[in-house]
């Protein structure tokens, strides 16, 4: 059981740029949370603090009973796996399988478990067919799946995905959705940064909104995407479906295509 607790966390980069102010968030073990907000809102800084890549200037970050300032990033990453936004920051092996295998091997798991985790992670990410390929011969979106697999293979309790939806096609988005469901079944905590609001409403029940280095809202999709104040402050655009529902002046709450279709059919019938 690893809860993630950030309390009143602030952080500035060495050049003095403030990146996070008074950020407080608790993510319970097994929860699935989306973090949304504009570029530069502080999302990546927040998650890098969660896995110990960055240490808070003030406030505390705890992964389970570990205070991240008291452990090295390598230690914290056993509990909190982080998939970088840019896959090329992370890949350094010449073939996909070695890349995925590196993490669990490095964690000194026994060889049977290393094999098992490597195969499982590659399959889950839809990259088993490219095991021998050089990751750099794969398109960006598939390289991203290589990096996701290499973090999943480390079997950490908490997994952080930084913009996994960037550049994904329909098939890639479905693979990501399936992956979230499998991780939930295994009791993993997943925190995902994304700009894809359809993906958020399809797969996440809890949404954290950031704007100007702060957490400004934390709730369910209906609370976020129909809250004018939050939308304005964060410059978020609600999912296309919610915008269409607005054109018909339907009551708030519609977030899926099914809901919109049902509402239109009902409207037409009356």
Partner 1 sequence: MADIVIELQNVSYRYPVSDDYVLKDVSFTIEKGKFTAIIGNNASGKTTLCNAIRGFIPHFYKGDLEGIVRVGGKDTQETQLGQMAEQVGYVFQNPFIQVSGVKDNVFEEVAYGLENLGVPVDEIRLRVEEILKLVNIGHLRDKNPFELSGGQRQRVALASIIVMDPDILVIDEPTSQLDPVGTEQIFDIIRLMKERGKTIVLVEHKMDLIAEYADNLLVMSEGKLVMQGPVREVFGNPEYERYNIQYPHVTEVALQLQKSGMPLAFLPVKDSELAEALNLKGVVACD
Q: How far apart are CA 196 and CA 198, in angstroms?
A: 6
d(CA 114, CA 98) in angstroms, rounded, equals 11
DSSP bridge partners of 131:
none
135 lines the binding site for partner 1 (CB under 8 A): no
CA atoms within 13 A on the CB side of 110: 1
185 belongs to the binding site for partner 1 (CB under 8 A): no
Nearer Cβ to partner 1 (63/125): 125
Residue 91 contacts partner 1 per CB under 8 A: no
| Number of residues forming the site for partner 1 (CB under 8 A) | 45
Work out which of 112, 185, 268, 270 binds partner 1, going by CB under 8 A.
268
| Of positions 235, 252, 253, 266, contacts partner 1 by CB under 8 A | 235
What is the spatial distance between Cα 47 and Cα 8, in angstroms, rounded to a whole number?
Answer: 14
DSSP β-bridge partners for residue 110 = none
CB of 168 vs partner 1, minimal distance in Å: 7
Would you state the structure tokens that stand for residue 169, as one six-digit string? 């096609």
Please name which of 9, 44, 27, 10 lies closest in space to residue 79, comparing C-alpha atoms: 27
| Stated length of the chain | 270
131 binds partner 1 (CB under 8 A): no
Under rule CB under 8 A, residue 252 binds partner 1: no
**For partner 1, which is the closer residue by CB, 95 or 198?**
198
Span interacting with partner 1, options 96-104, 181-189, 221-229, 252-260, rule CB under 8 A: 252-260
| 267 touches partner 1 (CB under 8 A) | yes
Q: Which helix (H) or strand (E) holds 216?
A: strand 214-219
- Helices 96-106 and 111-124, interaxial angle, to 10°? 130
Nearer to partner 1, 22 or 140 (CB): 140
Q: Per rule CB under 8 A, is residue 195 in the interface with partner 1?
A: yes
Report d(CA 42, CA 60) in Å as an integer: 17
Which residues fall within 8 angstroms of residue 184, CB to CB, at 6 or more apart? 30, 32, 190
Of 109 and 145, CB closest to partner 1:
145
Site string for partner 1, 9-48 (x = CB under 8 A): ------x---------------------xxxx---x----
Residues 135 and 122: their CA atoms lie apart, in Å, by 13
- Binding-site ranges for partner 1 (CB under 8 A): 15, 37-40, 44, 85-86, 88-89, 139-142, 163, 166-172, 195, 197-198, 235-237, 239-241, 243-244, 246-249, 257-258, 260-261, 264-265, 267-268
């Amino acid at each position: 059981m690893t809860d993630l607790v950030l309390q009143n966390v602030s952080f500035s980069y060495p050049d003095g740029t403030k990146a996070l102010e008074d950020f407080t968030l608790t993510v319970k073990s097994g929860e699935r949370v989306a973090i949304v907000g504009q570029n530069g809102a502080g999302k990546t800084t927040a998650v890098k603090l969660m896995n110990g890549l960055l240490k808070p200037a003030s406030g505390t970050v705890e992964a389970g009973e570990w205070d991240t300032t008291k452990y090295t990033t390598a230690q914290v990453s056993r509990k909190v796996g982080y998939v970088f936004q840019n896959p090329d920051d992370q890949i350094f092996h010449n073939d996909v399988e070695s890349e995925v295998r590196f993490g669990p091997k490095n964690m000194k798991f026994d060889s049977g478990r290393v094999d098992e985790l490597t195969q499982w992670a590659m399959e889950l990410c839809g990259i088993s067919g490219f095991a021998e390929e050089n990751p750099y011969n794969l398109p960006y979106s598939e390289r991203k799946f290589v990096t996701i697999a290499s973090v999943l293979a480390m079997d950490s309790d908490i997994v952080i995905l930084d913009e996994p939806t960037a550049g994904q096609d329909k098939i890639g988005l479905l693979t990501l959705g399936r992956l979230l469901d499998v991780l939930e079944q295994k009791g993993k905590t997943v925190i995902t940064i994304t700009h894809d609001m359809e993906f958020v409403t399809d797969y996440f029940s809890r949404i954290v909104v950031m704007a100007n280095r702060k957490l400004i809202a934390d709730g369910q999709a209906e609370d976020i995407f129909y809250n004018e104040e939050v939308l304005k402050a964060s410059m978020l655009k609600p999912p296309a479906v919610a915008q269409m529902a607005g054109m018909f002046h339907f009551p708030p709450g519609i977030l899926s295509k099914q809901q919109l279709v049902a509402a239109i059919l009902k409207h037409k019938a009356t």
